[in-house]
């Protein structure tokens, strides 16, 4: 990458405060940041690290209810942004510093065509005439490999898919050829196969125009592909900064090391038991929401003590399978068997024991626990409901369960869910499902809302519990790293069908079904050359949505 | 476009059915009278002969569903039967009075709607300022006051004490428009005060809602000037909520008009309804209720159609 | 020019200058707008208008003082967690609570407070106020003040009963429909849509013309008309809770509908439902007052604010404020409840962020 060594953005001692509970509370506590022209810096950290706040501050912007604290200095190309009047700041935005938001779908105005929103800034700054600007937009669309670049701009945002919108937003950010672009988690909301085409498009265009960028994300593997320099943040403080290769090969700080280490957890794969019928078996299930068919002829088995991962992107029907097994969505065809006996399709027709045997753990611990009920009651209720425990026996059982999930009983017994952290809430969710003494637990994306370290703790806990209690898990996930670390068998789904299934070691080795292959190869790896290598191997036209369409049966 | 037409057609159909159901409710509610209409009108002291005569006159010997169909059929052609008290056709009494009521409501709406939307957008822009807080207290006070309280306060200060406007809003057809507007200024102002407060609060809430959306933040980060953020990015999406707010409050005007007409002795349909209720003149009550309900439903329908038409997702289907 | 006018302008201008000097932005804007308004008022309305402005400002200052001290009083007597809420409450909420408190006292202890009975004729019609009668007499020579006090019991009591009844019906049905879903939910939704498409005042007039106007019918009719509004809110609040995963977890556990409503849905819906109760009370109260004003609500000789306005309305043309007193009493209570509701809604929406 060509870089001249002039400093474009120089942030010194950045302090940002938010107003809550009648006082100003620090969000970012004195962070320094130096960015050269043409350089891409990755800001990485868990939620609450202040990365987005810093990104916005680089534009001289704070969200409502926040302010830049005294003693901070943000110098953009020799201009001190903290003392610049609002009107001058405003003329900087869009022309010299641009912003790409996480949710493109929400950040495009539904009332205007894409191209009209694209040309807004160039027209505002009188850089181009309307027609010129439109022509330029189409060129940018083409460079970003959007389909029908001459025509797509004349559509409304809701007529375009998520991955395409994200690229159109990148094009919009490029409209005035800014010196600096802030990318705020631009691919977080996308599927892996879509993510890869957005990543490659962003990387190419940033490279081509030699634009400096701040790339904000929580995904290490993504940042490894995009950034020249990585800065790690924790709770509004800088942990360390180094160029990408150094950072990946030789992290200095303990916190950074622990982030890197997450990917190491892996347990041994178990073989299927040689005898006996499967614990749960899904047989030729079709299902639909109203008139829209969602599942077609889905079949797979889950044996006792094993973990089966159901993998697929959004819309693949993986969560719908879970709804069929639990009886929330009675299948239109086929059936689910428990130890060889068919389960009634509707959960309302199932016996208490049948309900007890299959439990669920949810993705969002926030919505999975009633915020107005004490922990002791959340965990105690299933024990009371199924086993009829009361009084001291119930209390003992709850204590026992809290011990199992490694939370101190005396400390958590009388607390309410909103007082707990995300990881603790997820543990309570696990305890609630264990309280029913089930043999089978469905884990629906249980780690995807959690920060990596916490997620790993949860995976280890689930593994420990499986060994102690001989549980079977059905793991619904889109994250292949999770699959690698915990699954015994893998079921891959696409468009409501099972495309491939088998033991994990077989599934992670070629040859694959084409879609599995695409899915596997699209998951970013920590190697900074991964994206480059992949693009060389496959070519830019064989990734993302185009490839997905090719790989469809 | 096929989509949008079928959605609107569905909505219109639903409105029509609602109207039909309401006509059924209005008609059969009267059938719930202990005894029958004749008994209720003539009271305990009525002789058998009188009762029989009235029953024959009203056609009560026929089955209720048949009478309903008759009633509905003639109501559609503008014939609501005869008043029980004055024995004159109901339609005659309603005719001019309905015109008067519409005149008053329109008068109030023409002042209230632009003022409320303008002020609502203004307080939304200056939210959490002193101006916003004062506006909040004032509008809350205004919507909390019964129409007759506001009405009498206005009469006391603007009519009795200062003599700026007439206290009694009697109008007839011979008056010039200016005369009419002057005469009905106080009742119109009363309604304007209540409705503006309501509308302002709702407009403020929906604009603030829109200002918090990511695309408005995006526009700001794109360097779009503040006025353009409002005009280009907020207003095109504000139509649907604003149309709803306006319709809801025009519908509110219809209810408010009854009390205001009584306070200012205004010859409108509201006063007719109140008189008829006191005298238990059922044909008049039914007719007035039907007209009020129909106006109410039509306004809601117009609002729904309006918000469907301004929704970009529906206007430009995939 | 007399001393009052000079003093008046000196005071407002001086106060705004002081505020500007000490950089009290809010106070300055308020005082300076008052100054500008007074200039216009003074030119248009002369000294009388300035007096009105002074009286109004005095009233506002007085109620601000009362609200402030009442709020501080509540902070001291309430238990810790509620006191914390009160400390951050706006003055308007303190004012609202104070007014509600006063009304409750006068309603409950009406026979002790009121010097005369509510139907007791003690003097000639429209007799002016004297040391026996604080507010003078009404059109039949009954003591106005006593009737206002009794009205707090009758009018507010009736509105409260009707609201509670509407709430019991509407909230129960709404939460039940939310947790059950399916056909029943759709059916109830349709019925509610139809009832709500008749304006409430019109609908109550229709029903009252048929069933007559005794107190029981009045309560039932109003409850039936307002229950659908409560239903709609309870349904939508419940609907937001029902989609939560903890409800799904409870359903999959095999819990019954009543357990779901009582333990899972209700505790998460109380804040919006209480606020809605306040709002609904205001609507019902205004409707009751309106009906009484039309002569179709609470019947004489029971003291009732709405009918008192109507009975004394003729006095307005003589420039007397007597009919405004009961009307003002209605407005004051509604304003108070609305202030409190506004504060509560603000608090719940603030928590969501």
For position C238, which CATH number holds?
A: 1.10.3720.10
Pairwise CA distance, residues B141 & C30, whole Å: 18
Q: Coil, strand or helix: which one is A193?
A: helix
pLDDT per residue as tens digits for the range A156-190? 888 888 888 888 888 888 888 888 899 988 887 77
Question: Does the distance separating the beta carbons of B215 and A107 come in below 8 Å?
Answer: yes
For residue A1, name the pLDDT band (cuts at 50, 70, 90). Answer: very low
Q: Which residue of B has its CA nearest to C279?
A: B144
Q: Coil, strand or helix: which one is A292?
A: strand
Pairwise CA distance, residues A250 & A300, whole Å: 43
With a cut of 80, say whether residue A22 has pLDDT above it. no
- Nearest CB to C252: which of A347, A367, A381? A347
Q: How close is the nearest chain A Cα to the Cα of B218, in Å?
A: 6
Domain-embedded: residue C101:
no
Q: Phi/psi of residue C129, each to 5°?
A: -65, 140
For residue B283, name the pLDDT band (cuts at 50, 70, 90). Answer: confident
Instruction: Read off the tokens for C237.
Output: 């609040």
- Nearest CB to B277: which of C296, C328, C342? C296
pLDDT above 90 covers a percentage of chain B that reads 6
Which chain B residues are within 8 Å of A94, Cβ to Cβ? Answer: 221-224
CA angle C190, C191, C196 (to 5 degrees): 100
Q: Which residue of B has its CA nearest to C331?
A: B145
Q: Distance of CA B229 to CAs A114, B200, B213, C46, Å?
A: 16, 20, 12, 44
Residues C141, C68 share a domain: no
Q: Distance of CA A72 to CAs A57, A76, A235, A337, Å?
A: 10, 13, 18, 63
CB A94 within 8 A of CB A176: yes
For residue A545, name the pLDDT band (cuts at 50, 70, 90). Answer: low
Question: Does the distance separating the beta carbons of B237 and A93 come in below 8 Å?
Answer: no
State the chains in contact with B (3 or more Cβ–Cβ pairs under 8 Å).
A, C
- The per-residue pLDDT for A542 is 63
Domain-embedded: residue C94:
no
Question: Does the distance separating the beta carbons of B237 and A111 come in below 8 Å?
Answer: yes
Residues C144, C65 share a domain: no
Q: Distance of CA B242 to CAs B27, B235, B245, B315, Å?
A: 35, 9, 5, 18
* Stretch 2-21 of chain B: residues touching chain C, C-beta under 8 Å: 18, 21
pLDDT per residue as tens digits for the range C311-337? 888 888 887 788 888 899 999 999 999
With a cut of 50, say whether residue A520 has pLDDT above it. yes
pLDDT per residue as tens digits for the range A360-402? 999 888 889 999 899 999 999 999 999 888 889 999 999 999 9
For chain C, the domain total comes to 2
- Peptide bond preceding A407: is omega within 30 degrees of 0, i.e. cis? no
Beta partners for A474? A308, A442
Which chain B residues are within 8 Å of A100, Cβ to Cβ? Answer: none
Pairwise CA distance, residues A59 & A79, whole Å: 12
Pairwise CA distance, residues B150 & A285, whole Å: 67
Residue where the block lists tokens 């559509």 = A155
Mean predicted confidence (pLDDT) in B259-284? 88
Q: Does A158 touch chain B if contact means CB atoms closer than 8 Å?
A: yes
* Stretch 160-199 of chain B: residues touching chain C, C-beta under 8 Å: 160-161, 167
Residues C210, C340 share a domain: yes
Pairwise CA distance, residues A416 & B295, whole Å: 51
Mean predicted confidence (pLDDT) in C191-215? 86
Pairwise CA distance, residues A309 & A318, whole Å: 10
Residues C300, C225 share a domain: yes
For residue A48, name the pLDDT band (cuts at 50, 70, 90). Answer: confident
What is the CB-side half-sphere exposure of residue B141 using CA atoms within 13 A? 13
- Pairing mode of beta strands A7-20, A23-36: antiparallel
Task: Centre a 10 Å sphere on the Cβ of residue C53 and count the other Cβ atoms it contains.
Answer: 18
pLDDT per residue as tens digits for the range C305-315? 888 888 888 88
With a cut of 50, say whether residue C353 has pLDDT above it. no
Domain-embedded: residue C98:
no
Q: Phi/psi of residue A361, each to 5°?
A: -120, 135
| pTM > 0.90: yes or no | no
Instruction: Read off the tokens for C288.
Output: 């009751």
Residues C197, C78 share a domain: no
Q: Name which residue leads in pLDDT, B55 or B210.
A: B210
Considering only CA atoms, which of A87, A102, C353 is closest in space to residue B214?
Answer: A102
Q: Name which residue leads in pLDDT, B291 or C212.
A: B291
Pairwise CA distance, residues A299 & A481, whole Å: 24
Pairwise CA distance, residues A472 & A64, whole Å: 47
Task: Centre a 10 Å sphere on the Cβ of residue A420 and count the other Cβ atoms it contains.
Answer: 18
ipTM above 0.90, yes or no: no
Q: Distance of CA B121 to CAs B174, B195, B236, B310, C225, Å?
A: 40, 16, 14, 19, 33
Residues C307, C162 share a domain: yes
Residue where the block lists tokens 């940018």 = A140
Among C85, C240, C244, the strongest candidate for a mutation testing the A interface, having the largest count of A CBs within 10 A, is C244
CATH code linked to domain B96-285? 1.10.3720.10
Average pLDDT, chain C: 85
Where does residue B176 rank: exposed (0-12), middle (13-18), buried (19+ CB within 10 A)? exposed
With a cut of 70, say whether residue C31 has pLDDT above it. yes
Residues C78, C210 share a domain: no
Pairwise CA distance, residues B11 & B311, whole Å: 15
Pairwise CA distance, residues A126 & A115, whole Å: 16
Strand stretches in A37-107, DSSP E? 40-44, 66-68, 73-76, 79-80, 97-100
Mean predicted confidence (pLDDT) in C233-240? 89
Domain-embedded: residue C93:
no
Residues C247, C346 share a domain: yes
Question: Does the distance separating the beta carbons of C30 and B167 come in below 8 Å?
Answer: no
Pairwise CA distance, residues B161 & A423, whole Å: 71
Residue where the block lists tokens 């997450």 = A262
Pairwise CA distance, residues A187 & B5, whole Å: 37
Considering only CA atoms, which of A194, A196, A202 is closest in space to residue A169?
Answer: A202
Where in the sequence is the domain holding C308, given as residue range(s)? 106-352
- Nearest CB to B152: which of C30, C282, C323? C323
Q: Does A125 touch chain B if contact means CB atoms closer than 8 Å?
A: yes
Which chain B residues are within 8 Å of C337, Cβ to Cβ? Answer: 144
Which chain C residues are within 8 Å of A354, Cβ to Cβ? Answer: none
CB A54 within 8 A of CB A86: no
- The per-residue pLDDT for A2 is 46
Residue where the block lists tokens 């006082």 = A23
Pairwise CA distance, residues C333 & A532, whole Å: 72
Question: Does the distance separating the beta carbons of A103 and B236 come in below 8 Å?
Answer: no
Pairwise CA distance, residues A546 & A340, whole Å: 42
Instruction: Read off the tokens for B263.
Output: 């306070």
Residues C130, C8 share a domain: no
Residue where the block lists tokens 């049966």 = A553
Beta partners for A183? A100, A215
Question: Does the distance separating the beta carbons of B316 and A107 come in below 8 Å?
Answer: no
Sheet holding A341-342, edge to edge: A292-302, A280-289, A333-338, A341-342
Q: What share of chain C is helix, strand, coil (3-state, %, to 5)?
A: 80, 0, 20
Residues C156, C58 share a domain: no
* Stretch 144-163 of chain B: residues touching chain A, C-beta under 8 Å: none
What residues does each domain of chain B span? 96-285
Among positive and negative, which fits the CA dihedral B280, B282, B287, B291? positive
Mean predicted confidence (pLDDT) in B218-222? 87
The domain boundary, picked from C88, C115, C133, lies at C88
Give all domains of chain A, ordered by start, each with its CATH number. Answer: 7-260 (3.40.50.300), 280-371+436-510 (3.40.50.300)
Domain-embedded: residue C222:
yes
- Nearest CB to B215: which of A56, A109, A155? A109
Q: Phi/psi of residue A155, each to 5°?
A: -95, 165
The domain boundary, picked from C61, C88, C115, lies at C88
Mean predicted confidence (pLDDT) in A54-58? 88
Question: Does the distance separating the beta carbons of B32 and C202 come in below 8 Å?
Answer: no
Q: Does C323 touch chain B if contact means CB atoms closer than 8 Å?
A: yes
Distance between alpha carbon C330 and the CA centroid of its chain, in Å?
A: 8
Q: How close is the nearest chain B Cα to the Cα of A84, in Å?
A: 15
CB A153 within 8 A of CB A114: yes
Which chain A residues are within 8 Å of B239, Cβ to Cβ? Answer: none
Among C49, C209, C309, C323, the strongest candidate for a mutation testing the B interface, having the largest count of B CBs within 10 A, is C209
Instruction: Read off the tokens for B142.
Output: 């205004």
Average pLDDT, chain B: 84
Q: How close is the nearest chain A Cα to the Cα of C246, in Å?
A: 4
């Amino acid at each position: 990458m060509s870089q001249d060594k002039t400093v474009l953005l120089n942030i010194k001692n950045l302090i940002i405060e938010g107003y809550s509970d009648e006082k100003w509370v620090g969000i970012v506590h004195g962070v320094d940041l130096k960015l050269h022209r043409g350089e891409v810096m990755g800001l990485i950290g868990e939620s609450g690290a202040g990365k987005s706040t810093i990104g916005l501050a680089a534009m001289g912007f704070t969200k409502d209810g926040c302010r830049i604290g005294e003693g901070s200095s943000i110098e953009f190309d020799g201009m001190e942004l903290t003392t610049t009047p609002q009107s001058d700041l405003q003329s900087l935005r869009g022309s010299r510093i641009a912003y790409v938001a996480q949710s493109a779908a929400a950040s495009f105005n539904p009332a205007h065509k894409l191209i009209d929103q694209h040309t807004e800034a160039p027209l505002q700054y009188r850089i181009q005439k309307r027609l010129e600007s439109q022509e330029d937009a189409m060129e940018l669309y083409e460079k970003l490999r959007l389909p029908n670049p001459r025509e797509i701009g004349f559509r409304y945002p809701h007529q375009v898919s998520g991955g395409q919108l994200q690229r159109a937003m990148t094009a919009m950010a490029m409209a005035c050829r800014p010196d600096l672009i802030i990318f705020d988690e631009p691919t977080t909301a996308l599927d892996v196969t879509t993510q890869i085409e957005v990543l490659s498009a962003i990387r190419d265009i940033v490279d081509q125009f030699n634009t400096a960028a701040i790339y904000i994300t929580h995904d290490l593997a993504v940042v490894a592909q995009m950034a020249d320099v990585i800065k790690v943040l924790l709770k509004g403080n800088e942990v360390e900064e180094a160029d990408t290769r150094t950072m990946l090969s030789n992290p200095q700080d303990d916190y950074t090391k622990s982030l890197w280490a997450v990917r190491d957890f892996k347990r041994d794969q178990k073989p299927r038991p040689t005898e006996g019928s499967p614990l749960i078996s899904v047989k030729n299930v079709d299902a639909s929401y109203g008139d829209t068919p969602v599942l077609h002829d889905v079949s797979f088995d889950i044996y006792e003590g094993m973990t089966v991962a159901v993998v697929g992107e959004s819309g693949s029907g993986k969560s719908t399978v879970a709804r069929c097994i639990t009886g929330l969505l009675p299948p239109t065809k086929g059936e689910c068997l428990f130890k060889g006996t068919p389960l009634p399709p509707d959960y309302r027709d199932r016996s208490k024991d049948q309900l007890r045997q299959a439990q669920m753990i949810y993705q969002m611990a926030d919505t999975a626990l009633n915020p107005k009920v004490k922990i002791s009651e959340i965990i105690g209720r299933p024990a009371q409901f199924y086993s009829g425990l009361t009084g001291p026996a119930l209390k003992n059982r709850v204590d026992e369960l809290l011990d199992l999930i490694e939370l101190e009983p005396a400390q958590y017994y009388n607390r309410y869910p909103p007082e707990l952290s995300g990881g603790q809430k997820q543990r309570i969710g696990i305890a609630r499902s264990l309280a029913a003494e089930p043999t089978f637990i469905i884990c629906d994306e249980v780690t995807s809302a959690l920060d990596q370290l916490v997620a790993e703790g949860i995976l280890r806990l689930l593994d420990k519990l499986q060994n102690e209690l001989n549980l079977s898990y059905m793991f619904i996930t889109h994250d292949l790293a999770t699959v690698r670390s915990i699954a015994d068998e893998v079921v891959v789904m696409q468009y409501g069908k099972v495309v491939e299934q088998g033991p994990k070691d077989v599934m992670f080795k070629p040859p694959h079904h084409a879609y599995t292959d695409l899915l596997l190869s699209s998951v970013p790896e920590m190697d900074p050359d991964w994206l480059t290598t992949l693009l060389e191997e496959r070519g830019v036209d064989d990734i993302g949505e185009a490839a997905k369409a090719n790989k469809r049966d | 476009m096929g989509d949008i037409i079928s959605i609107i057609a569905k909505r219109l159909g639903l409105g029509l059915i609602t109207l039909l159901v309401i006509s059924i409710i209005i008609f059969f509610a009267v059938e719930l009278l202990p005894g029958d209409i004749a008994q209720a009108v003539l009271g305990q002291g009525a002789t058998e002969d009188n009762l029989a005569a009235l029953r024959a006159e009203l056609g009560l010997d026929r089955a209720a569903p048949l009478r309903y169909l008759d009633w509905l059929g003639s109501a559609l052609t503008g014939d609501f039967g005869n008043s029980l008290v004055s024995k004159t056709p109901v339609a005659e009494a309603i005719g001019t009075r309905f015109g008067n009521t519409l005149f008053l409501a329109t008068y109030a709406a023409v002042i209230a709607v632009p003022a409320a939307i303008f002020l609502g957008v203004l307080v939304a822009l200056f939210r959490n300022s002193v101006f916003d807080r004062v506006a909040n207290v004032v509008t809350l006070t205004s919507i909390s006051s019964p129409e007759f309280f506001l009405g009498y306060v206005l009469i006391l200060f603007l009519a009795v004490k200062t003599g700026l406007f007439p206290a009694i809003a009697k109008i007839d057809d011979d008056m010039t428009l200016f005369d009419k507007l002057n005469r009905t200024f106080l009742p119109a102002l009363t309604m304007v005060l209540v409705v503006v407060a309501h509308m302002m609060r709702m407009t403020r809430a929906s604009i603030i809602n829109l200002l918090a959306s990511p695309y408005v933040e995006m526009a700001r980060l794109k360097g779009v000037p503040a006025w353009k953020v409002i005009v280009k990015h907020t207003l095109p999406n504000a139509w649907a909520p604003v149309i709803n707010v306006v319709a809801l409050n025009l519908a509110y005007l219809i209810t408010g008009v009854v009390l205001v007409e009584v306070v200012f002795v205004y010859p409108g349909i509201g006063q007719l309804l109140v008189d008829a209720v006191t005298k238990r003149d059922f044909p008049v009550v039914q007719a007035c209720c039907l007209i009020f309900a129909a106006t109410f439903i039509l306004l809601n329908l117009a609002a729904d159609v309006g918000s469907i038409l301004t929704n970009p997702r529906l206007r430009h289907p995939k | 020019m007399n001393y009052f006018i000079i003093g008046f302008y000196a005071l407002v201008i001086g106060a705004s200058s002081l505020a500007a000097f000490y950089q009290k932005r809010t106070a300055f804007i308020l005082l300076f707008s008052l100054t500008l308004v007074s200039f216009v008022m003074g030119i248009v309305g002369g000294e009388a208008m300035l007096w009105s402005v002074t009286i109004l400002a005095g009233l506002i200052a007085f109620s601000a003082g009362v609200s402030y001290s009442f709020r501080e009083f509540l902070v001291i007597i309430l238990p810790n967690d509620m006191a914390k809420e009160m400390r951050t409450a706006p003055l308007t909420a303190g004012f609202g609570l104070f007014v509600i408190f006063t009304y409750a006292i006068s309603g409950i202890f009406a026979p002790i407070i009121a010097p005369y009975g509510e139907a007791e004729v003690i003097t000639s019609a429209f007799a002016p106020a004297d040391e026996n009668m604080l507010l003078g007499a009404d059109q039949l020579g009954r003591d106005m003040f006593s009737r206002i006090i009794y009205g707090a019991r009758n009018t507010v009591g009736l509105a409260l009963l009707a609201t509670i009844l509407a709430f019991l019906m509407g909230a129960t049905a709404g939460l039940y429909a939310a947790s059950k879903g399916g056909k029943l939910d759709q059916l109830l939704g349709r019925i509610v849509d139809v009832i709500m498409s008749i304006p409430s005042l019109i609908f109550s007039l229709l029903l009252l013309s048929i069933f007559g106007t005794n107190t029981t019918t009045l309560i039932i009719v109003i409850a039936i008309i307002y229950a659908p509004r409560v239903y709609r809110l309870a349904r939508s609040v419940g609907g937001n809770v029902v989609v939560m995963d903890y409800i799904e977890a409870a359903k999959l556990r095999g819990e019954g509908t009543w357990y779901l409503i009582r333990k899972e849905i209700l505790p998460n819906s109380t804040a919006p439902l209480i606020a809605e109760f306040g709002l609904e009370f205001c609507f019902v109260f205004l409707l009751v007052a309106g009906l009484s004003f039309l002569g179709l609500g609470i019947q004489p000789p029971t003291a009732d604010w709405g009918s008192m306005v109507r009975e004394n309305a003729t006095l307005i043309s003589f420039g007397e404020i007597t009919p405004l007193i009961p009307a003002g009493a209605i407005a004051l209570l509604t304003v108070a409840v609305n202030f409190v509701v506004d504060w509560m809604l603000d608090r719940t929406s603030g928590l969501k962020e």
